[in-house]
Amino acid sequence: MILVTGGAGFIGSNFVIDWLASNDEPVINLDKLTYAGNPDNFSSLDGDPRHHFVKGDICDRELLNQLMAQHKPRAIVHFAAESHVDRSIHGPGDFIKTNVDGTFSLLEAARAHCAGLSDTERAAFRFLHVSTDEVFGTLNPGDPPFSETTPYAPNSPYSASKAASDHLVRAWHHTYGMAVLTSNCSNNYGPLQFPEKLVPLIIANALAGKPLPIYGDGQQVRDWLYVGDHCSAIRRILTDGQPGETYNIGGWNEKANIDVVHTLCDLLDELSPAKQSYREQITYVKDRPGHDRRYAIDARKTERELGWRPTETFETGMRKTVQWYLANQEWVRKVQSGDYLKWIDRNYSQRARGAA
């Protein structure tokens, strides 16, 4: 049995579904169900005895101890995190609490759990910490992509909190001998992503006839990774990764934000045409503070040592994503609660600058 934290969020729920589709090992799915945690994400697993959902907080050490004692997981896959840069700018405290304090609590619960295992069980135990490329800071246009040895230089409250959690995980390996693994991934996209992030926000706004907000000049470059490929990489790292090592996971798809939006508009023009091109809804807004210009991931170590490469291209992954959102508009409507709409208004209403 494995314990997955944050398994009701975007990447976590995709991972849980992917995990149970590929093997029969049961999953304890722990999630606090904050605004981005959605039990509808794993409704396809209703009645599946291999899936055990627990509503709870990774900062709750007593609950963590109970879960360890009751289920004795042979691995922990740690997705739980506050993850939206814009929200971290408005309210950094939640990011410190969940990403730093929560990871500390989970590491300590795992350390106590390992102390009660046999030598064989302890040798087989793994703690896989899922992190982000944002901990490395920003790149200039000609800089080489981030590698596993790139110095940390986080620039937002979100990325700083994730960098702190990465350092904690590293320290628990070197100080206490815990068999940890860390992955740093690039921008994920795909089904079940909460519609505050770029790809689902653009799709939802386009279909609703609303402006498509683009920060600054839209030339911020990111590497784009389809969530299904991320899940397959996590499975491979958990199986074959070496304790104490970090592994970059990327899609080999560096794209400027405006190019991503153009791709989405063109796909929607094809798959759900309106009276005019969705590109006509593009609106440039004031950039957010400290917006990193470019991220890029060098994932050659993961390919070389673990034999993993993404299977989706940017084009195939984006097409699958648009098709999923078109087929699941009720899911989008349900997650767009009043609180979500207030957040969107708060974040974008003061940024309006002009149409494309």
Residue 35: predicted pLDDT: 76
Answer whether residue 74 shows pLDDT above 60.
Answer: yes
Say how far apart CA 136 and CA 152 lie, in whole Å.
4
What does the pLDDT average to over 264-285?
A: 97
Catalytic residue among 31, 86, 158, 189: 158
Residue 355 contacts residue 285 (beta carbons within 8 Å) = no
Assess whether 158 carries a catalytic annotation.
yes
Other beta carbons within 10 angstroms of residue 350's beta carbon come to 9
Reported pTM: 0.92
Catalytic residue among 82, 86, 134, 229: 134
Catalytic residue among 31, 82, 86, 133: 133
CATH architecture of 2-188+226-250+295-312: 3-Layer(aba) Sandwich (3.40)
Answer whether residue 339 shows pLDDT above 70.
Answer: no
What does the pLDDT average to over 99-127?
A: 97
Say what the alpha-carbon torsion angle 237, 37, 17, 111 is, to the nearest 10 degrees: 40
Assess whether 134 carries a catalytic annotation.
yes
Domain boundaries, the chain: 2-188+226-250+295-312
Residue 33 contacts residue 7 (beta carbons within 8 Å) = no
Assess whether 108 carries a catalytic annotation.
no
What does the pLDDT average to over 288-297?
A: 89
Q: Count Cβ atoms within 10 A of the Cβ of residue 316 and give its class: 0-12 exposed, 13-18 middle, 19 or more buried.
A: exposed
Answer whether residue 84 shows pLDDT above 90.
Answer: no
Residue 31 contacts residue 57 (beta carbons within 8 Å) = no
Give me the residue label for tokens 């990327």: 250
What does the pLDDT average to over 208-235?
A: 97
